């Protein structure tokens, strides 16, 4: 991963590590019981990596061409809601997205960027939200105009049904083949209908991710070549066909 931005600072540091933004608040200290410093491990693994925890250093690092990998963790836990955000310390989702695009666009092979804001779901009613929500199925449980508040005891019940947005007797997800459409490098591998399990493999191959790190993909041609493509040679058979058609058109005029 080249760019990681969001919250969750305390989950990356050993238990008891003071937080740089809230050093006097013990509840914001690191919580890792395995004593691992994942930020330091990530920096050691990637040359040109930089870690930031506030908006000022984030904007500086994102525009520094020597920074190839960037991790920004701006809150000990979840990022604050936009209305409660400290604009001097925490970047907005828009700023994080813009800077991520700016950094990743340096890669001539392209990139994959995943942006998600989960806070709106929680901000609506302050109730817990689940990591998974089915589009439809028997788990629909809307009471009046409010969604249910899921508790730990409920989800541990063996009869618990995952929440669904639309009530149906059964869920419609399946394992059948799917239609896949793509554009870009290696897009020719995903035309027509494919098995679902194939999609993850072809995405990993196109991105040179494990287990396809030895893919040795050729670098794309320069932008100058793309802007001025080479002329395509016309096959001899096509030239003969065109000459024959032209002769047929001229024959009435010759008589």
Which residues are annotated as part of the binding site for Zn(2+)? Answer: 173
- C-alpha distances in Å from residue 27, one per residue of 5, 15, 40: 22, 11, 22
Residues annotated within the binding site are 116, 173
Nearest to 54 by CA among 15, 11, 22: 22
Structure tokens given for 202: 């072809």
DSSP the chain: --EEEES-GGGGSBTTPPPSS-TT-GGGS--BTT---HHHHHHHHSTTEEEE-SHHHHHHHHT-TT--EEEEE-SSSSPPPGGG--TTTS--HHHHHHHHHHHHTT-TT---------HHHHHHH-----S--EEEETT---BTTB-----HHHHTSTT----EEEE-SS-----S-EE----STTGGGG-SEE-HHHHHHHHHHHTT-TT-TT--PPPPPPHHHHHSPPPPPPPHHHHHHHHHHHHHHHHHHH-
Residues annotated within the binding site for Mg(2+) are 116
Is the separation of the CB atoms in 136 and 172 below 8 Å? Answer: yes
Structure tokens given for 16: 């008891």
**What's the CA gap between 209 and 212, in Å, rounded?**
5
């Amino acid at each position: 991963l080249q760019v990681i931005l969001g919250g969750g600072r305390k989950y990356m540091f050993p238990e008891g590590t003071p937080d740089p933004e809230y050093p006097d608040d013990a509840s914001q200290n690191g919580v890792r019981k395995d004593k691992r410093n994942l930020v330091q491990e990530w920096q050691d693994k990637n040359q040109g990596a930089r870690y930031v925890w506030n908006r000022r250093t984030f904007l500086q690092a994102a525009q520094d061409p020597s920074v190839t990998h960037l991790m920004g963790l701006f809150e000990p836990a979840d990022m604050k809601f936009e209305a409660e955000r400290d604009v001097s310390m925490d970047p907005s989702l828009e700023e994080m997205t813009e800077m991520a695009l700016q950094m990743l666009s340096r890669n001539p092979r392209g990139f994959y960027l995943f942006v998600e804001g989960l806070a709106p779901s929680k901000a609506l009613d302050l109730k817990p939200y689940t990591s998974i929500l089915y589009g439809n199925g028997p788990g629909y449980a809307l009471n009046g105009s409010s969604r249910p508040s899921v508790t730990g005891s409920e989800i541990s019940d063996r009869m618990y049904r995952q929440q669904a947005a639309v009530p149906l007797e059964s869920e419609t997800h399946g394992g059948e083949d799917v239609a896949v459409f793509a554009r870009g490098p290696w897009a020719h591998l995903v035309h027509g209908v494919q098995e679902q399990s194939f999609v993850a493999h072809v995405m990993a191959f196109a991105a040179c991710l494990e287990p396809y790190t030895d893919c040795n993909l050729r670098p794309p041609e320069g932008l100058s070549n793309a802007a001025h493509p080479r002329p395509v040679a016309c096959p001899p058979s096509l030239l003969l066909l065109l000459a024959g058609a032209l002769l047929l058109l001229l024959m009435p005029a010759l008589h």
